[in-house]
Amino acid sequence: MKAEIIAVGTELLLGQIVNTNAQYLSQKLASLGIDVYFQTVVGDNPGRLRQAIEIGRSRADLLVFTGGLGPTQDDLTKDVLADYLNLGLRLHEPSMAKIEQLFASRGLHMVESNRRQAMSIEGAEPLENTTGLAVGNGLTADGTLYLLLPGPPKEMKPMMDGAGENWLRSNLVDEQPLYSRILKFAGIGESNLEATLLDLIDGQVDPTLAPYAKEGEVAIRVSTKAGSEAEASVKIDAAVAMIKERAGDYLYAERDVPIEEEIIRLLRASRRKLASAESISGGLLAELITNVPGSSGEFLGGVVTYTNHMKHRLLSVPMSQLEGEGAPGAISESTAALMAERVRELAGADFGISLTGVAGPAESEGKPVGLVYFGLAERGKPTVVHTMNLSGGRTMIRIRAVKAALYRLWLSLRD
Residues 87-146 that bind a second copy (CB under 8 A): 101-102, 105-108, 111, 113-114, 130-131
Please say which residue, 98 or 244, places its beta carbon nearer to a second copy: 98
Shortest spacing between CB 212 and a second copy, in angstroms: 5
The piece of 12-20, 82-90, 167-175, 247-255 that touches a second copy (CB under 8 A) is 12-20
Binding-site residue total for a second copy (CB under 8 A)?
A: 118
What three-state secondary structure class fits 354?
Answer: strand
Residue 391 found at the interface with a second copy (CB under 8 A): yes
For a second copy, the binding residues in 180-219 under the rule CB under 8 A are 180, 182, 189-192, 194-195, 198, 201-202, 210-216
Helix (H, G, I), strand (E, B) or coil at 373: strand
- Give every CB contact of residue 27 below 8 A, 6+ residues apart in sequence: none
**79 interacts with a second copy by CB under 8 A:** no
Contact present, 7 and 22 (Cβ < 8 Å): yes
What DSSP state is assigned to residue 49?
Answer: H
Binding segment for a second copy (CB under 8 A), chosen from 9-17, 88-96, 236-244, 373-381, is 9-17
287 binds a second copy (CB under 8 A): yes
Under the criterion CB under 8 A, does residue 221 sit at the interface with a second copy?
A: yes
Least Å from the CB of residue 306 to a second copy: 4
- Segment (H or E) for 71: none
The full DSSP string for 203-228 is H--SSEEEEEEETTEEEEEEEEE-SS
Nearer to a second copy, 139 or 275 (CB): 275
Report, in Å, the least distance between residue 266 CB and a second copy: 18
Can residue 36 be called a binding residue for a second copy (CB under 8 A)?
A: yes
Other Cβ atoms within 10 Å of 221 Cβ, number: 15
Please report which helix (H) or strand (E) contains residue 329, including its range: none
**Please, which residues bridge with residue 7 across strands?**
41, 66
DSSP E strands: which ranges in 133-273? 136-141, 144-149, 178-185, 208-214, 217-225, 251-253
72 binds a second copy (CB under 8 A): yes
C-beta of 51 vs 140, nearer to a second copy: 51
